């Protein structure tokens, strides 16, 4: 099981770089000054632009055009310098590096890692280095430098004027119209299709699956994503071109409506309808999943067998429940020994059934509550609804490091020959260890009342066997706890790992272990093993010779708490909502300058490119085995394998140069492509992990960062479009 | 009528180009027009003459290839001018899934009109165009004439100073045509300036103060309707109480036979005759302005 985005940096680190707390600008005073300046200047600018009537004057326009033109030249030069590795490093060493260093006291160390600055860089590069420069060049060629500069400056001022004069009432009116249009287009059909698909799928879904919750959640989430994206694509890409074709937009644009209001109104209207649609589908999905998984088992007294424990241990009534959803549970009820007659003792114990101790073994990712009551002479057992199946675990992750078989620290374990290098391995019966270092643990996080049995640690270990051994028994290993500050280590448990089985171990808050001198030593977890700055090491060792444990960083985590599954469900659907808004914005943007079907295809292409953005990043970074597209094509044609060296010569040099040029385009493309997978939380939901606030916040900000420029581009395209052409 | 110019085109030209930028058609060639406040101005011309292009350029629906189009002293591409204009498009391009009330409410919201005022205005306009009984019906159920009427109502929702009417009487029955013409005259009486184009020459003749005739993108005729329709090389004498004999000698002896001369002047032709004549002249001499009369100053 691999879930992307399980481990992410805190929102602030991601947004502003890991050392942002040290930057003056992000201190309390800095933020206050920043807000005052941004809001103050913004307010003044908006007020000035709203008050001004008529078109911007020629002097102001020329100055604006000239300043922006020079700025665009600088940005373009920077983009060209960044396009190759050599010039990029030159620029970093002599221009950007020293300048960036001077900003460290203001923005904090590592501020260049902050996504906000990357985004600002991309926006400036796109709008000034590419769009403005091309427009300026075209206007200069067509009208001459003076007139061209003035026209460009005037256009920019008019854009800001349009933005400043946005009227919420008009935007809402246009949104209302878009919503009405969506309803007219029978979006309710999407509901019907969803219900039909779900009902049809329900016929084939196996309730006796090993992981039924995962199966059901994955199917409803995939159906939701598919239908929502289809809805967003069709509605957004076809609506505006239909209005332009039917000329209904003529009566709108001849009113005091700004083109940006048309774009905003469309996206807002479709978003409202999409939100209602998604809420409806979400409610259906939740009801369907919960109802489909709900079951109980029959348990009668005849199914239980009596076992007498030695001494005064009492009796064990054990047995299996009846089968439901393709499985049954093993039940154990412990009855205290009072009279020596098992049945009489059971009857006596049933006077207070709530005091009886019982266990219902987990099966298919869930267990059940057992209720026992007496009805007359009869004892009635009833099992409640499944428990633990639909959950939202809130994990705390540690940083994984390794030591090799000699005990020397390593970045990774050994490779056992897997092509998939996600996990690395430690050898059995050696000093090889995998150590997770957890940070920021505080005793207040784990109150004894809430964690009476200790802190749960869940792990999913891959077992690589060089000999078969006892497959049923699993491979033995040990768990160690360590204090990274004092170096103190203590063996916690021995355990047995089965391949990919999720195992839960409890770390007691207080425990005792024999010390080296043989005396029993008392340990308080937070006093003795967690450092003052909240760090704790958990290490695993494999004990069986010839066998290995394989692990990746997310494979072991502290289960700090459990969130609400319902709330997690809402957050997973919020992820789909974010994707939907992005698709709607892209569809509306493309529909402002191409016809409906072309806009539809272009949006689909953008979505697909977004789904494969990581591949394009690899392609742009030159990290692909077998080279770029031209080298790969050459290898295919000559039936050459991917790792052999190409014969040096003109042909190879040409191919490499073409690939390098493609890589530059890909690199810039990858910087602006939306990452759709980022907001897919279906696997979190299916595998029972909470979608964290950091992750949700990051995705929301990321989508906003895409939606804003996309809307701006849509506005620019619509602004220059002749409605009656 | 006032002398303030509210609509003006200066050497306005429009060339339609294909995707590759190649010239497809030159729809308008250096058009110079002036429309004064309070007048009803008609644009005439056969299909493809450039009159709809002119209106679209004035509305900012098209951008000029060269020249200028000014409305209320502002460039036609200025959104702010739309606060003070109304537009009835050729085919009443309205959202057919809305009813009359919703339509007017929607367009009222685009003018930022407060809700109470918007509703009152919508009710008044619906009553004015006689669609009170059909105000809750979707526009898809409307006849063409009804759609024209609600189209006119939406053009008036902001009480505009300037009205652009594209074929205002097309699709209307005789009663509604008459009412539309009366309405145009009423609107003129309220001080509104109206620029209309139409194929129905009788309608233009009835309501327009001045007209311009376009052909192949060029201005062929411009002037007051009554002036343009005047046949200058003929004299008309209107008499009464004449015997048949006297009629034969009327030119020489009208005075001697004691007939009463009611009027002597130039007879007028119909606009249709003028229109056909101008177009035929234009086709016979392409590129030449047929005849531009002195515009009568008010």
Kindly report whether the global pTM for this prediction surpasses the value 0.80.
yes
Q: Check A252 against B59: CB less than 8 A apart.
A: no
CA separation for the pair A10, A3 (Å, rounded): 18
The predicted-structure confidence for A521-549, as pLDDT tens digits, reads as follows 888 888 889 998 889 999 999 998 888 99
Partner B, chain A 213-252, Cβ-Cβ below 8 Å: 246-252
Of the three residues A529, A562, A595, the one that is the final residue of a domain is A562
Q: Check B112 against A170: CB less than 8 A apart.
A: yes
The answer on A617 and A541 residing in a single domain is no
The answer on A570 and A521 residing in a single domain is no
Within an 8 Å CB–CB cutoff, is residue B97 touching chain A?
Answer: yes
Q: DSSP labels for A573-625? A: HHHHHHHHHHHHHHHHHHHTTS-HHHHHHHHHHHHHHHHTHHHHHHHHTT--T
The answer on A187 and A121 residing in a single domain is no
Q: Check B74 against A54: CB less than 8 A apart.
A: yes
Residue A242 lies in a domain: yes
Question: Of B135, B190, B182, B136, which Cα lies nearest the Cα of B161?
Answer: B190
Mutation to test the B interface, candidates A254, A595, A718, A725, most B Cβ within 10 Å:
A254
Within an 8 Å CB–CB cutoff, is residue A177 touching chain B?
Answer: yes
Q: Check A177 against B63: CB less than 8 A apart.
A: no
Residue A227 lies in a domain: yes
Q: Check A162 against B82: CB less than 8 A apart.
A: no
Query: In angstroms, what CA-CA distances link A579 with A190, A222, A271, A274, A684?
Result: 17, 13, 11, 11, 16
The answer on A375 and A400 residing in a single domain is no
Q: How far is B103 from chain A (nearest CA, A)?
A: 10
- Number of Cβ within 10 Å of residue B117's Cβ equals 10
Query: In angstroms, what CA-CA distances link A578 with A488, A675, A703, B1?
Result: 47, 11, 7, 59
Of the three residues A163, A180, A211, the one that is the final residue of a domain is A163
Mutation to test the A interface, candidates B66, B95, B154, most A Cβ within 10 Å:
B95
**Is there a contact between A479 and A539 (Cβ–Cβ < 8 Å)?**
yes
Four-CA torsion A335, A337, A341, A347, nearest 10 degrees: -40
Q: Check A248 against B95: CB less than 8 A apart.
A: yes
What percentage of chain A carries pLDDT values higher than 90? 29
The answer on A190 and A278 residing in a single domain is yes
Q: How far is A68 from chain B (nearest CA, A)?
A: 23
Report the DSSP pairing between strands B85-88 and B162-166: parallel
- Number of Cβ within 10 Å of residue A238's Cβ equals 19
Residue A663 lies in a domain: yes
Residue A2 lies in a domain: no
Task: Quote the pLDDT of residue B294.
Answer: 40
Residue A20 lies in a domain: yes
Q: How far is A282 from chain B (nearest CA, A)?
A: 29
CA separation for the pair A162, A636 (Å, rounded): 53
The answer on A153 and A28 residing in a single domain is yes
The answer on A398 and A354 residing in a single domain is no
Task: Give 3-state DSSP helix, strand, coil % of chain A, rounded to 5.
Answer: 55, 20, 30
Name the residue of chain B whose CA is nearest to A53's CA. Answer: B80
Residue A522 lies in a domain: yes
Task: Quote the pLDDT of residue A583.
Answer: 94
The predicted-structure confidence for A485-527, as pLDDT tens digits, reads as follows 988 889 888 888 877 777 888 899 988 888 777 788 888 888 8
| A16 vs B282, more confident | A16
Q: Check A256 against B79: CB less than 8 A apart.
A: yes
- The DSSP bridge partners found for residue B221 are B213
CATH number at residue A529: 2.60.120
CA separation for the pair B140, B136 (Å, rounded): 12
Within an 8 Å CB–CB cutoff, is residue A655 touching chain B?
Answer: no
Of the three residues A509, A540, A562, the one that is the final residue of a domain is A562
Where in the sequence is the domain holding A40, given as residue range(s)? 11-163
Mutation to test the B interface, candidates A255, A260, A266, most B Cβ within 10 Å:
A255
Residue indicated by tokens 């006119």: B152
Residue A5 lies in a domain: no
Mutation to test the B interface, candidates A251, A598, A725, most B Cβ within 10 Å:
A251
CA separation for the pair B278, B46 (Å, rounded): 11
Q: Check B80 against A53: CB less than 8 A apart.
A: yes
CA separation for the pair B23, B11 (Å, rounded): 19
The answer on A195 and A344 residing in a single domain is no
Closest Cβ–Cβ partner in B16, B61, B94 for A248: B94
Within an 8 Å CB–CB cutoff, is residue B110 touching chain A?
Answer: yes
Mean predicted lDDT score pLDDT of chain A: 87
Task: Quote the pLDDT of residue A281.
Answer: 92
CA separation for the pair A464, A461 (Å, rounded): 10
The answer on A536 and A404 residing in a single domain is yes
Q: Check A258 against B79: CB less than 8 A apart.
A: yes
3-state SS class at A27: coil
The answer on A406 and A287 residing in a single domain is no
Q: How far is B173 from chain A (nearest CA, A)?
A: 24
> How many independent structural domains does chain A possess?
4
Task: Quote the pLDDT of residue A135.
Answer: 92
Residue A677: pLDDT above 50? yes
Q: Check B110 against A170: CB less than 8 A apart.
A: yes
Q: Give, as one character, the DSSP assignment of residue A4.
A: T
Task: Quote the pLDDT of residue B295.
Answer: 37
Task: Quote the pLDDT of residue B296.
Answer: 38
Closest Cβ–Cβ partner in B80, B95, B151 for A177: B95
Task: Quote the pLDDT of residue B297.
Answer: 36
The answer on A424 and A310 residing in a single domain is no
Q: Check A251 against B94: CB less than 8 A apart.
A: yes
Within an 8 Å CB–CB cutoff, is residue B99 touching chain A?
Answer: no
pLDDT tens, N- to C-terminus, chain B (298 residues) = 557 889 999 999 999 888 777 878 888 988 999 999 999 999 988 888 888 899 999 999 999 999 999 999 888 988 889 999 999 988 768 898 899 999 999 999 999 999 999 999 999 999 988 888 988 999 989 888 888 889 999 999 999 999 999 888 887 888 888 888 888 999 999 999 999 988 777 788 888 889 888 888 888 888 877 777 666 666 666 666 666 666 666 666 666 666 565 555 555 666 666 777 777 777 777 666 655 444 333 3
CA separation for the pair B94, B91 (Å, rounded): 9
Residues in chain B within 8 Å Cβ distance of A254: 59-61, 82, 85, 87, 164
Residue A635 lies in a domain: yes
Residues in chain B within 8 Å Cβ distance of A181: 95, 97
The answer on A231 and A185 residing in a single domain is yes
Within an 8 Å CB–CB cutoff, is residue A257 touching chain B?
Answer: yes
Q: How far is B1 from chain A (nearest CA, A)?
A: 26
- Continuous H helices in A294-393: 342-349
Residue indicated by tokens 């002293």: B73
Q: How confident is the model at residue A5 (pLDDT cuts 50, 70, 90)?
A: low
């Amino acid at each position: 099981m691999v879930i992307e985005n399980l481990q992410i940096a805190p929102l602030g680190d991601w947004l502003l770089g890991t050392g942002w707390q040290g930057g003056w600008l992000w201190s309390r005073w800095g933020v206050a000054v920043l807000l005052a300046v941004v809001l103050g200047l913004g307010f003044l600018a908006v007020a000035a632009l709203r008050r001004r009537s008529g078109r911007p004057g020629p002097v102001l326009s020329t100055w604006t055009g000239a300043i922006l033109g020079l700025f665009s030249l600088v940005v373009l030069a920077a983009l060209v310098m960044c396009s190759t590795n050599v010039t990029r490093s030159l620029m970093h060493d002599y221009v950007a590096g020293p300048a960036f260093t001077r900003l460290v006291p203001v923005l904090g160390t590592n501020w260049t890692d902050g996504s906000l600055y990357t985004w600002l860089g991309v926006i400036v590069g796109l709008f000034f280095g590419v769009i403005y420069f091309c427009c300026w060049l075209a206007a200069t060629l067509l009208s001459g430098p003076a007139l061209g500069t003035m026209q460009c400056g005037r256009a920019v001022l008019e854009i800001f004027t349009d933005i400043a004069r946005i009227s919420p009432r008009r935007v809402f009116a246009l949104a209302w119209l878009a919503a009405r249009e969506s309803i007219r287009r029978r979006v309710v059909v999407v509901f019907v299709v969803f219900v039909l698909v779900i009902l049809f799928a329900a016929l084939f879904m196996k309730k006796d699956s090993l992981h039924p919750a995962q199966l059901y959640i994955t199917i409803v989430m995939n159906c939701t994503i598919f239908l929502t994206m289809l809805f967003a694509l069709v509605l957004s890409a076809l609506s505006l071109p239909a209005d332009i074709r039917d000329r209904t937009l003529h009566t709108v644009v001849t009113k005091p409506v700004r083109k940006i209001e048309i774009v905003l109104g469309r996206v807002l209207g479709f978003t409202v309808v999409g939100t209602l649609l998604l809420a409806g589908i979400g409610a259906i999905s939740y009801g369907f999943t919960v109802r489909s998984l709900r079951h109980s088992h029959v348990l009668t007294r005849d199914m239980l067998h009596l076992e007498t424990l030695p001494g005064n241990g009492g009796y064990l009534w054990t047995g299996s429940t009846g089968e439901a959803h393709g499985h049954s549970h093993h039940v154990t009820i412990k009855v205290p020994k009072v009279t020596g007659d098992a049945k009489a003792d059971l009857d006596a114990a049933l006077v207070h059934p709530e005091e009886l101790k019982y266990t219902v073994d987990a099966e298919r990712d869930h267990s059940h509550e057992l209720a026992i009551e007496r009805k007359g002479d009869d004892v009635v057992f009833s099992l409640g609804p499944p428990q633990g199946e639909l959950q939202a675990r809130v994990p705390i992750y540690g940083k994984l490091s390794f030591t090799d078989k000699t005990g020397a620290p390593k970045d990774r374990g050994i490779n056992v020959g897997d092509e998939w290098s996600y996990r690395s391995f430690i050898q059995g019966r050696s000093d090889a260890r995998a150590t997770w270092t957890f940070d920021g643990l505080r005793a207040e996080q784990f109150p004894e009342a809430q964690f009476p049995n200790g802190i749960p640690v869940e792990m999913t270990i891959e077992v690589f066997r060089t000999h078969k051994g006892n497959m049923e028994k699993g491979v033995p290993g040990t768990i160690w706890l360590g204090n990274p500050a004092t170096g103190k280590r203590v063996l916690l448990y021995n355990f047995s790992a089965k391949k990919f089985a999720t195992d839960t171990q409890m770390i007691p808050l207080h425990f005792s272990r024999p010390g080296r001198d043989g005396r029993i030593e008392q340990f308080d977890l937070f006093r003795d093993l967690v450092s003052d700055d909240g760090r704790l090491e958990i290490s695993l060792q494999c004990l069986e010779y010839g066998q290995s444990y394989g692990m990746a960083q997310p494979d072991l985590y502290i289960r700090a708490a459990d969130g609400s599954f319902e709330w997690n469900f809402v957050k997973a659907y919020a992820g789909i909502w974010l994707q939907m808004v992005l698709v709607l914005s892209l569809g509306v943007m493309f529909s402002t300058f191409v016809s409906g079907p072309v806009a539809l295809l272009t949006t689909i292409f953008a979505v697909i490119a977004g789904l494969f953005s990581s591949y394009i990043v690899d392609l742009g970074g030159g990290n692909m085995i077998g080279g770029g597209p031209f080298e790969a094509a050459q290898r295919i044609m000559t039936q050459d394998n991917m790792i052999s060296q190409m014969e040096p010569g003109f042909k190879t040099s040409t191919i490499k140069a073409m690939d390098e040029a493609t890589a530059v385009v890909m690199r810039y493309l990858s910087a602006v492509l939306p990452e759709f997978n980022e907001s897919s939380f279906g696997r979190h939901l299916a595998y029972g992990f909470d979608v964290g606030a950091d992750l949700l916040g990051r995705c929301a900000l990321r989508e906003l960062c895409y939606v804003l420029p996309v809307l701006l581009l849509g506005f620019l395209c619509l602004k220059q479009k002749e409605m009656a052409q | 009528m006032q002398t303030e110019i509210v609509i003006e085109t200066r050497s306005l030209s429009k060339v339609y180009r294909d995707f590759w930028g190649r010239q497809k058609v030159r729809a308008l060639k250096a058009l110079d027009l002036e429309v004064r406040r309070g007048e009803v101005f008609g644009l005439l011309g056969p299909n493809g003459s450039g009159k709809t292009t002119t209106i679209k350029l004035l509305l900012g629906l098209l951008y000029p290839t060269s020249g200028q189009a000014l409305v209320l002293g502002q460039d036609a591409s200025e959104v702010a001018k739309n606060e003070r204009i109304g537009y009835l498009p050729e085919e009443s391009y309205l959202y057919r899934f809305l009813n009359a009330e919703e339509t007017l409410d929607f367009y009222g919201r685009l003018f930022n009109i407060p809700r109470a005022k918007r509703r009152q205005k919508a009710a008044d306009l619906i009553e004015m165009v006689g669609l009170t009984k059909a105000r809750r019906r979707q526009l898809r159920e409307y006849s063409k004439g009804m759609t024209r009427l609600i189209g006119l109502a939406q053009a008036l929702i902001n009480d505009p100073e300037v009205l652009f009417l594209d074929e205002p009487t097309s699709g209307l029955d005789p009663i509604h045509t008459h009412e539309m013409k009366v309405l145009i005259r009423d609107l003129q009486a309220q001080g509104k300036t109206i620029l209309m184009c139409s194929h129905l020459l009788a309608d233009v003749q009835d309501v327009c103060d001045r007209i311009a005739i376009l052909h192949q993108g060029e201005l062929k005729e411009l002037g007051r309707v009554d002036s343009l329709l005047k046949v200058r090389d003929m004299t008309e004498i209107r008499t009464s109480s004449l015997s048949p004999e006297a009629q034969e000698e009327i030119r020489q002896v009208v005075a001697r036979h004691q007939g009463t001369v009611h009027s002597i002047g130039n007879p007028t032709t119909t606009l249709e005759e003028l229109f056909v004549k101008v177009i035929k002249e234009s086709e016979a001499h392409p590129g030449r302005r047929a005849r531009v009369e002195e515009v009568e100053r008010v």
